[in-house]
Amino acid sequence: MIDWESDPELRALRNEFAASFPERLGAVRSFAQRLRGQGAGPHPRGGELAQELRILAHNLAGAAPTYGFQRLGEIAAEIDDRLSESEASISADQLLADALLLEKALTSCVESPASGATP
Amino acid sequence: MFRILLAEDEEHIAKLIDYKLRKEGLEVRIAKNGQEAVSALEEPVSEQPFSLLILDVMMPILDGWQVLKKLRTSMEERKDLPVLMLTAKSSEMDLAKSAELGATRFLKKPFDPAALHRVVVEMLESGAKS
For B89-108, write each residue's pLDDT tens digit.
667 778 888 899 999 999 98
pLDDT in tens, A45-58: 888 899 899 999 99
- Confidence tier at A92 by pLDDT (50, 70, 90): confident
> Average pLDDT, whole number, for chain A?
88
Contacts of B110 in chain A (CB under 8 A): 62-66, 73
Is B118 near chain A, with CB under 8 Å? no
Confidence band, pLDDT 50/70/90 cuts, at residue A115 = low
The full set of domains in chain A, from first to last, is 8-112 (1.20.120)
Of B13, B112, B114, the CB nearest to A63: B13
CB atoms within 10 A of CB A37: 7
Chain B residue closest to A10 (CA)? Answer: B16
* Sheet strands side by side (includes B27-31): B27-31, B3-7, B52-55, B83-87, B105-108
CA gap B2, B37 in Å, rounded = 17
pTM of the model: 0.90
What percent of chain B has a predicted confidence (pLDDT) above 90?
75
Phi-psi category of B56—alpha, beta or left, where left has phi over 0 and alpha has psi -120 to 50?
beta
Those residues whose C-beta lies under 8 Å from the C-beta of residue B19, and which sit 6 or more positions away, are: A9, A10, A13
pLDDT value of residue B1:
84
Answer whether B114 touches A (CB < 8 Å): yes
Of the candidates B56, B51, B57, the residue with the CA atom closest to the CA atom of residue B27: B51
Q: Please indicate whether, in this complex, the C-beta atoms of A62 and B112 are within 8 angstroms of each other.
A: no
Question: Is B19 within 8 Å of A13 when comparing Cβ atoms?
Answer: yes
Question: Domain coordinates of chain B in residue numbers?
Answer: 3-113
Write out residues 11-40 of B within 8 Å (CB-CB) of A. Answer: 12-13, 15-16, 19
Which residues on B lie below 8 Å from A68 (Cβ)? Answer: none
CA–CA separation, B51 vs B128, rounded Å?
5
Q: Identify whether the C-beta of residue B61 lies closer than 8 Å to the C-beta of residue B35.
A: yes
Q: Which of A59, A60, A82, A109 to mutate to test the interface with B (most CBs of B within 10 A)?
A: A59
pLDDT tens, residue order, chain B (130 aa): 899 999 999 999 999 999 999 999 999 999 999 999 999 999 999 888 999 999 999 888 999 999 999 999 999 999 999 999 987 766 777 888 889 999 999 998 888 888 999 999 999 998 744 4
- Give pLDDT, residue A116: 56
Q: By CA distance, what is B9's nearest residue in A?
A: A59
CATH class, range B3-113:
alpha beta
Q: Is A68 left (phi over 0), alpha (psi -120 to 50) or beta?
A: left
Return the DSSP state at B31: E
% of chain A residues with pLDDT over 70 = 93
A42 DSSP 8-state letter: B
pLDDT at residue B37 in the model: 97
Task: Over range A26-42, report the average pLDDT.
Answer: 87
B122 touches chain A (CB under 8 A): no
